[in-house]
Amino acid sequence: MKRNYAGDVLRNFLIVIVFLCHSSYLFSNDKVISLIGTATGWAMEMFFVLSGFFIAIKYMQKNIPTVKEIAIHEWVKIYPEYFMGYIMCVFLEYWQKHYYGDMGSILQFVKKSLLNLGLLQSWVPNEDYYFSFNGVSWFLSSLFFAIC
């Protein structure tokens, strides 16, 4: 597949917008924070559309016909790195909760862990679940949710 430089520029622009949203605590102007917050919603939607578009083009050129095959191929490609990050997040989340004495329900921690392990947290319509552990896993879970 030929490199799509316009798509790269747009994706990088969207990444900067999302980064600014996650760094909005650095800004003191409420209007700037509001603008960044509004732009972030748009940026995430566009990022999802672009990701789907580039994935579709890639697999159309490889002649992989079914969505199931695409999902399996993406899963195999992404999951090993995700799993290493998942292990770190589980450890850090557990340590943080234990250190600050906020263990809450251990059953809920295990549920969130297992959902994140399978990249299924976006399937639960509860912010405590789909944003648990880290934002990257939410994005990947949402992509797999859209594919399936």
Q: What is the DSSP string of 64-94?
A: ---HHHHHHHHHHHHHHHHHHHHHHHHHHHH
Angle at 139 between CA 24 and CA 4, to 5 degrees: 90
Q: What is the pLDDT of residue 25?
A: 63
CA neighbours closer than 13 Å in the CB half-sphere of residue 53:
11
Closest-CA residue to 116 (of 139, 147, 97, 98): 139
- 119 CB-contact burial (10 Å; exposed 0-12 / middle 13-18 / buried 19+): buried
According to the model, what pLDDT value does residue 67 have?
Answer: 76
pLDDT, residue 27, reads 66
pLDDT for 35: 74
Give me the phi and psi of 103, to 5 degrees please: -70, -30
Distance of CA 125 to the CA centre of its chain: 15
- Tens-binned pLDDT, residue by residue, of the chain (148 aa): 677 888 888 888 888 887 777 666 666 667 777 777 778 878 888 888 888 788 778 777 777 667 777 778 778 888 888 888 888 888 887 787 777 776 667 778 888 889 988 888 888 888 888 777 776 778 788 877 776 6
**Predicted pLDDT at 133:** 74
CB 17 within 8 A of CB 36: yes
